A = this chain, B = another copy of it.
Amino acid sequence: MKWVYIEDIAAHRGQDVELRGWVYNTRSSGRIRFILVRDGTGILQATIHSESEGDPLYEKFDSLTQETSLVVRGRVREDKRAPGGFELGIREIDILQAAEDYPITPKEHSTPFLMEHRHLWLRSRKPHAVLQVRAEVVKAIRDFFDGRGFRLMDTPILTPSACEGTTTLFETKYFDQTAYLSQSGQLYNEATAAAFGKVYCFGPTFRAEKSKTRRHLIEFWMVEPEVAFAVLDDIIDLGTDLVLFILERVLSQRRSDLEALERDPRPLEAIAKPFARLTYDEIVPRLQAKGSAMARGDDFGAAEDALISELSPGPVCITHFPAAIKAFYMQPAPERPDLALGVDFMAPEGYGEIIGGGQRIHDPGLLEERLREHHLPAEAYAWYLDLRKFGSCPHSGFGLGVERTVSWICGIKHIRETIPFPRLLYRIYP
């Protein structure tokens, strides 16, 4: 009998098939027994309804406990009353392993308890739905860039130098040297962009930040496109198209997961081009007028994220930051060198920054000056300076954080639920 997956069940209507999975739940109604079987791709109602009360299937049914692994065989029937529209009429059950005292019961558990059992919690409906959305977001991102001629460049994790200061870096011994875990592939992709025109990297990044907020992870995934000859406006367009592409994909492909999460899709469906766009100096007084305590030169906090959302139903793009609060490599604005040609995309509904990027310095003299001002070692950045010596050109890029994007799309307040095994302050198990 053919082993099939529940997500493909409609293609096997009327056929005898084999399912391999786990007991999600059971119930009885008169002579009928219902087993909700989950196989990782879906949940199917399988039923026992025998002429004979002594049918050994009833006995097997009685022994089933939550998360018992089993193989069931039977015929696929269309049934409007069954969840999903199909059910399996069971003919045989093979129990592989009876699970005893599965720790995650249908009752409420505390988040620390669930996090400690993350390896099992992933089987529950909500974490399952979040990670399905995550996989779709990642695929959408890759399809977006691959479809626009961007070349994937896997930039190194082990790096000799720091992209944005050393205080939040993980350090490791690298034979006779010291290496740091990368916080961004950007510097490397400035080199590959000069070789391939349009590139992106997409991998894990690391910040040893001692901050315990609901939007920080120690280890998170980021996609970073970099485009030779692009200026700030070009990458604002690119980021806008990317966000819309991701939304469209999730809304069309992962509707049932959003439903499982009780995520209202309407605020997502309403988002369209162009996104609202304001400079830092335009937005700060507007936030202050709404009650924000931030001063010019401050970064946005959770309170500001919420206030920014009041300005537009879609993401808000903030540009032209004070150069002093941005990274050393940011291109200054032509007539206001105290402002940096950077951009942050702030998600709606108070979810905060999902994209950060901008135009990079292309003048070798200015870059050397900035390296000195930031006390960055010239030898470690020699190769980076080379990019400005040999065919320098304006270029721009950004980073989009996967977990923050998934968090926003799923309507999940804490980012720790958007990655299979979150790494948090002091938490590294399981």
Give the interface of A toward B (CB within 8 A).
Answer: 3, 5, 7-8, 20-23, 39-41, 67-69, 71, 96-97, 99-100, 102-103, 117-120, 122-123, 127-128, 131-132, 134-135, 138-139, 142, 146, 149, 151-160, 170-177, 179, 181, 188, 191-198, 203-204, 206, 208, 210, 218-219, 221, 228-229, 380, 382-384, 386-387, 389-393, 419-421, 423, 425-426, 428-430
Contact = CB atoms under 8 A, between A and B. Distances in A.
Contacts of A425: 175
Contact of A119 (B21, B179, B386): B386
A132 B196 CA distance: 9
B219 A421 contact: no
Nearest to A403: B154
Contact of A196 (B41, B119, B192): B41
Main secondary structure of the interface of A (DSSP, over half): mixed
A196 B426 contact: no
Contacts of A174: 170, 218, 428
Given A20-B229, A120-B390, A40 B198 contact: yes
A131 B151 contact: yes
Contacts of A208: 175
B122 A192 contact: yes
A197 B40 contact: yes
Contact of A204 (B154, B382, B426, B428): B154
Given A20-B393, A194-B40, A151 B170 contact: no
Contact of A154 (B21, B100, B228, B420): B420
30 contacts: A22-B194, A40-B193, A41-B198, A69-B392, A96-B393, A97-B393, A99-B389, A119-B384, A119-B387, A122-B192, A127-B195, A128-B195, A131-B153, A132-B151, A135-B151, A138-B154, A139-B146, A139-B152, A153-B420, A154-B419, A156-B423, A157-B181, A157-B219, A159-B428, A160-B428, A174-B218, A174-B428, A192-B420, A204-B204, A380-B429
Contacts of A153: 131, 135, 420
A135 B218 CA distance: 28
A40 to B, nearest CB: 3
Contacts of A154: 134, 138, 204, 221, 419-420
Contacts of A7: 149
A31 B157 CA distance: 51
Contacts of A391: 22-23, 67-69, 96-97, 99, 102
B386 A158 contact: no
Contacts of A123: 194-195
A424 to B, nearest CB: 10
Nearest to A190: B119
A428 B158 contact: yes
Given A68-B391, A149-B7, A177-B428, A423 B120 contact: no
Number of copies: 2
Nearest to A193: B40
Given A99-B390, A102-B390, A119 B197 contact: no
A67 B390 contact: yes
A383 B427 CA distance: 14
A73 to B, nearest CB: 14
Contacts of A67: 390-391
A155 B420 contact: yes
Contacts of A170: 158, 172-174, 179
B390 A158 contact: no
Contacts of A393: 20, 69, 96-97
Contacts of A195: 40, 122-123, 127-128
Contacts of A172: 170-172, 181
A173 B171 contact: yes
Contacts of A386: 117, 119-120
Nearest 7 pairs between A and B by C-beta? A40-B197, A383-B430, A122-B195, A69-B391, A119-B191, A20-B229, A40-B196
